[in-house]
Each structure stands twice: as structure tokens, then as C-alpha cells.
Homo-oligomer: A and B are copies of this chain.
Amino acid sequence: MDTWDAIRSRRNVRQFDQRTIPAADLDRVLEAGRIAPSSRNWQPWDFVAVTERDQLVRLAEVWRGGAHIARAAAAVALIGPVPEDDRQRGWLFFDVGQAAMLMQVVAADLGIGSSHSAVGDQDLAREILGHPEDRTCIAIFSLGYPADRPLAPIERFNRRPFGEVVHRGRW
């Protein structure tokens, strides 16, 4: 798909149909995260890809807003080091946000919807995902084909107006 169309097709999908994601497509999504840029190329991320229904249902419990994970075809948990200080915390989240975005654009390009979840219960996330004590689960996103209608470029986004967000030269 054309890049601009894929970017405008990405939307939060929380109701999925029953189709599984072909392994090659899920791998392409993960590959997009792997090749993401990061500060001094530190690549602070590990990705845990979950596709088993039982595990998805359990994973949905890590945050009150994570119910969509239980219904998804797959989920990707974004794992990173426990940050040492505010500065590292900032870049960790910035860079993992970049990787998450690339993965979700590639998913949209393949017709796959996605939705973010925060992680409230870190202990439960660790129990389910098995990452070591020096790592934390920063966020999770679910993946699957939309139950309502296929992804297609959105013409009008629910966002602040361009002229309010964009400043020319100076604020």
C-alpha cells in the first residue's frame, strides 16, 4: 500500500474478527520494530509476541483498559530496561514509541488493526511474559483484523486543527 494511505488507515481497533495473522505478516510487523531508530542506536527494546488465546486472555488483565488484548489475534509486549533516571526514562519511552509506531504502520499496511494498552500490574505482566527483573513492560499493543470494516484511509481525523498544532518559525 502507498505510505500515505497506510498512515491514514491506521486507527485504534478494539474489536477483532476471528482470523489469525499469517506468520510472515506478524514477522514483518516485528521486523519494523527491530529496524526502528533509537538514540545512539541503543535499541533498548525486546518484543514478546503473544498469539495463544489463553495467554492473550491473561495478558488483558494487566491494565483496566486492556480488554481488547483478550479478543486480539496477537499482542506485542514492548519490554525495556528499568530506567536509571529521568533522562533515560524519557529516551526509553521516546524510542519505544518510535518502534511501536513503525510496527503499527506496517500492520495497517497489511490490513491489520491495532490498539495500545498501558501496563498497570507489572508483576502480573512479568509472570505472564517471563522477562527478567531488570526489565519492565512499557506498553502492549494488540493486533487483529477489524470486526467492523477493513482499514481504509481516514479523511477527517479527530485531532486538534493543523493551524493550532503547527507553528511557523516561532510559537
| Interface positions of A (Cβ within 8 A of B) | 1-4, 6-8, 10, 12, 27-28, 30-37, 39, 41, 43, 45-52, 55, 79, 86, 89-98, 100-102, 104-106, 109, 116, 118, 129-132, 135, 138-139, 154, 157-160, 162, 165-171
* Most-contacted residue by chain B among A12, A48, A154, A167 (CB, 10 A): A167
Q: Would B79 and A171 count as touching, CB distance under 8 A?
A: yes
Interchain residue pairs A-B with the least CB separation, the first 9:
A97-B97, A94-B97, A93-B93, A130-B170, A3-B109, A98-B101, A101-B101, A130-B171, A93-B94
Of B49, B86, B138, B170, which is within 8 A of A167 by CB? B49
Of B8, B39, B159, B167, which is within 8 A of A46 by CB? B167
A-B contact pairs, 10 of them (CB 8 A): A2-B2, A3-B106, A4-B28, A8-B35, A30-B165, A35-B157, A36-B101, A49-B166, A52-B169, A101-B101
